[in-house]
Amino acid sequence: MTRLEATVEPLDTEWARLYLGGKGLLFRYLFEELAPGTDALAPENPLILASGPFAGTAAATCSRLAVGCKSPATGTLLDSYVGGSFAPELKYAGYDVVVVTGRAPHPVLVLIEDERVDFLPAEGRFWGLETAALEQKVREEMGPWHKVLSTGPAGENLVPFACLSTDQYHKAGRGGGGAVMGSKNLKAVVVRGTGAVAVGDAGAFARDMLALQNERILTADNAWTYEEGTPFLVDLVNAAGALPTRNWRSGQFEEAGSIDSAQLLKVRTKIRACTQCPLACRQVHQFGEHVSEGPEFETLGLCGANCGVGDLAAIAAFNRACDEVGLDTMSTGAVVALAMDLCEKGAADYGLAFGDTAAYLAAPGLIAAREGWGAELALGARDLAALKGRPELAPHIKGLELPAYDPRGTFGMGLSYATSDRGACHMRAFTAADDILGGEAPADSLEGKPQLVADQQDFSALAWTGVWCANMYLDTDFIGAHLRHLWGRDVTQEEMMTTGARIWNLGRLLNLREGFGRDQDRLPAILDVPHPDGAAAGKTVSAEALRAALDEYYRLRGWDEDGVPTEETLARLSLDVRL
Ligand code: SF4
């Protein structure tokens, strides 16, 4: 970006063999390109876009892009995922991975049209536009098939929880990728490809993919995706006492029935899909004159219950505002709820109050612009709570705000969050499925959870190479049926899980290199206070229980007691890097 130059190099086939694509390749490039200790907003922090090997093919749900860098929210590695249609277009243009380094001397938009790469001046033309307006302008000026991955005003202003946007409603939400794009004076990457993706024996591949679609994807187990989408979780998580309510004071929201999927279905107008996905989980709703996708479960939990807001139209408007300015709804909802709490406790005077939607609806715009009290909220929960002298009220791990599954109602998620590679994340090991959503594991115990968490993390690391979508039931049989075509032979379950473990351990090395070890694998103080009501009343994950679970987790992983992978573990996983 500094020299406004692009170079093209062949994919490192050894890296592709070891790390496949998506998350794995992203981590490998990040390990290579990121000098230890680099500031996340410095030009030297690479912003990496990595597709999976099946993007742009007949494989379903693989049209997803992995986006990564060092996170400005946490200082850890960041990998975040987005659907829509950008990743296939990147493949049609001929690229698997894009690595953006440096900082442009002035705002630009990078335009990739097959082998041609241009740097278009963005000042007065694209810079400053909200996400939907930007996409519309690009389509008008360049054509309807150009795909856009952009940062909004929040990212231009370096808000550490600014997201990246594509196809208007699709977000690589977590960890501040939008701020890293903004720090490079880069408004958007726009891509148009006219090529295709070769798949070897195309007939056999198409037959296998069709069979998987009929037998494994369009099944009763996955019907929830198009019937209700993620909002179906609201009632289940609330019943388990795990729905964060009023800055995590409770796990049960008395107005949950006003913001659940039954209410959303009343205003649903249609469903949409990412490219090449038969599940079409994207729920489109109409509130008054506004039609938009979402809110998803996490937004309903964190921008609804956690802010004491039971007004569905207000949550949808908050969601839209975040989408337009390019803010992660999860972190924004968490920060606004914290600010409401600070106001109630007399530690701040923002005019915010639980359940009051007036100032609440102004928050996304003020945060994105860093105006008025929005400038303080733009610090993120950890730094805002510290600024106000109430660090114990901040719901975060390693600087990333907690997702909408309260560990007091689902203990396994506590271990999952504490050991997640990018800070508090529910997408690495989703043990809530085992202890509150129909599984048989006890919700209020960490017994057996270290193995469950480690296995699920390894599996998710494998799945995010594809990049398969988490919104359907995945297993190694399903993934193996794809990899058979990639490697030209049958692939064992052990090979696949070893690949996942290799990627997870590479992520651990990256974080250790940035100074994150055992001391940071912990839960925030706000979770030490038991709920007064709900199904999880009186329960907390004790420090002793978490310590014992971490010991067991490290042992199972082949890490020492400080959480450092042993030489034997790295050799067993054929990891080709060392600290
Ligand atoms: S299930 Fe939903 S999010 Fe996942 S690929 Fe399909 S449409 Fe996209």
pLDDT band, residue 319 (cuts 50/70/90): very high
Distance from Cα 127 to the centre of ligand 1, integer Å: 30
User: Which ligand 1 atom is at minimum distance from the Cα of 280?
Assistant: 7
pLDDT digits (tens, 9 = 90+) for 413-437: 999 999 999 999 999 999 999 989 8
Arithmetic mean of pLDDT, 318-328: 98
Task: Count the alpha carbons within 13 Å of 52 in the hemisphere toward its beta carbon.
Answer: 30
Tell me the pLDDT band of 440, cut-offs 50, 70 and 90: confident
Is the pLDDT at 89 greater than 90? The verdict is yes
Q: Do residues 385 and 391 lie in contact, with contact meaning Cβ atoms separated by under 8 Å?
A: yes
Reply yes or no on whether the pLDDT at 441 is more than 90: no
**Helix (H) and strand (E) counts for the chain?**
23, 15
Task: Tell me the CA–centroid distance for residue 471 and ligand 1, in Å.
Answer: 6
* Model pLDDT for residues 456-509, shown as the tens digit of each residue: 999 999 999 999 999 999 999 999 999 999 999 999 999 999 999 999 999 999
With a 6 Å cutoff on the Cβ, whether 51 touches ligand 1 is no
- Best residue for ligand 1 mutational test, from 282, 297, 464, 467 (most atoms within 8 Å of Cβ): 282
Cis ω before 467 (30° cut-off from 0): yes
pLDDT at 234: 98
pLDDT digits (tens, 9 = 90+) for 104-141: 999 999 999 999 999 999 999 999 999 999 999 999 99
Q: Ligand 1 centroid to 148 CA: how many Å? A: 18
Question: pLDDT at position 443, please?
Answer: 95
Q: Is 331 in the pocket of ligand 1 (CB under 6 A)?
A: no
Q: Does residue 2 register a pLDDT over 90? A: yes
Q: Rg for the chain (alpha carbons), in Å?
A: 22
**335-353 average pLDDT score:** 98
Output the CA 154–ligand 1 centroid distance in Å. Answer: 26
Show Cβ contacts of residue 261 under 8 Å, excluding neighbours closer than 6 positions.
228, 229, 231, 232, 234, 235
The closest residue, in CA terms, to atom 8 on ligand 1 is 274
Per-residue burial over 142-162, b if 16 or more Cβ lie within 10 Å, else e, is beeebbbbbbbbbbbbbbbbb
What separation in Å is there between the alpha carbon of 363 and the centre of ligand 1?
29
3 state SS of 287: strand
User: Residue whose CA is closest, atom 5 of ligand 1?
Assistant: 61
Q: How many angstroms separate the alpha carbon of residue 280 from the centre of ligand 1?
A: 6
Residue corresponding to tokens 């706000």 = 526
Write the single-letter amino acid at 570. Answer: L
- Which atom of ligand 1 approaches the CA of 63 most closely? 5
Share of the chain above pLDDT 70, in %: 100
Contact between residue 131 and residue 323 where contact means Cβ atoms under 8 Å apart: yes
Is the pLDDT at 103 greater than 90, yes or no?
Answer: yes
Ligand 1 atom closest to the CA of 225, numbered from 1: 1
pLDDT 10s digits, 373-402: 999 999 999 999 999 999 999 999 999 999
- Distance (Å) from CA 567 to ligand 1 centroid: 39
pLDDT in tens, 62-84: 999 999 999 999 999 999 999 99
Atom of ligand 1 nearest to the CA of 60: 5
- Spatial separation of the C-alpha atoms in residues 294 and 229, rounded to whole Å: 9
CA of 275 to the centre of ligand 1 (A): 8
The minimum-distance atom of ligand 1 relative to the CA of 61 is 5
Position 438 scores a pLDDT of 82
pLDDT, the chain, mean: 97
- Lookup: tokens for 495: 């090979």
Query: Is 99 near ligand 1, meaning CB less than 6 Å away?
Result: no
Instruction: Give yes or no for residue 281 CB within 6 A of ligand 1.
Output: yes
**Average pLDDT of span 306-333:** 98
Q: Is the CB of 282 under 6 A from ligand 1?
A: yes
CB of 222 within 6 A of ligand 1: the answer is no
Q: How far apart are CA 254 and CA 238, in angstroms?
A: 9
Q: How far is CA 364 from CA 38, 131, 314, 482, in A?
A: 29, 14, 13, 41
Q: Which of 362, 366, 410 is nearest to 539 (CA)?
A: 410
Whether pLDDT at 186 is above 90: yes
- Report pLDDT digits (tens) over 47-67: 999 999 999 999 999 999 999
Distance between CA 50 and CA 483 in Å, rounded? 18
Q: Which alpha helices (DSSP H) does 289-356 contain, by range?
A: 297-299, 312-325, 329-344
Q: Is 412 in the pocket of ligand 1 (CB under 6 A)?
A: no
Residue 274 CA to ligand 1 centre (angstroms): 6
Residue to probe by mutation, ligand 1, list 217, 221, 274, most atoms within 8 Å of CB:
274
The full DSSP string for 76-117 is SEEEEEE-TTHHHHHHHTT-SEEEE-S--SS-EEEEEETTEE
Residue 256, pLDDT > 90, answer yes
The predicted structure's pLDDT at residue 40: 98
In total, the chain counts a number of residues equal to 579
**Ligand 1 pocket member 83 (CB < 6 A):** yes
Task: Please work out whether the CB of residue 213 comes within 6 Å of at least one atom of ligand 1.
Answer: no
Q: Which of 62, 281, 464, 472 to mutate to test the pocket of ligand 1 (most atoms within 8 A of CB)?
A: 281
pLDDT over 90 at 439, yes or no: no
What average pLDDT score do residues 340-349 get? 98
Indicate the helix (H) or strand (E) that contains 548.
helix 543-557
Residue 382 pLDDT: 98
- Burial of 49-75, coded b for 16+ CB within 10 Å and e otherwise, reads bbbbbbbbbbbbbbbbbbbbbbbbbbb
The pTM for the full model equals 0.98
Q: Quick: pLDDT tens for 290-314.
A: 999 999 999 999 999 999 999 999 9
Q: What is the mean pLDDT of residues 81-90?
A: 98
Distance 63 CA to ligand 1 centre (A): 9
For residue 65, report the distance from its CA to the centre of ligand 1, in Å.
Answer: 12
Question: Which residue's CA lies nearest to atom 2 of ligand 1?
Answer: 281
The pLDDT of 185-202, averaged and rounded, is 96
Regarding the beta carbon of 469 and ligand 1, being less than 6 Å apart is answered yes
Query: Could you tell me if 268 and 211 are in contact, meaning their C-beta atoms sit under 8 angstroms apart?
Result: no
Show the beta-strand stretches assigned E in 84-230: 97-100, 108-113, 116-121, 147-151, 164-166, 170-172, 186-192
Ligand 1: which of 277, 427, 467, 478 to mutate, judged by most atoms within 8 Å of the beta carbon? 277
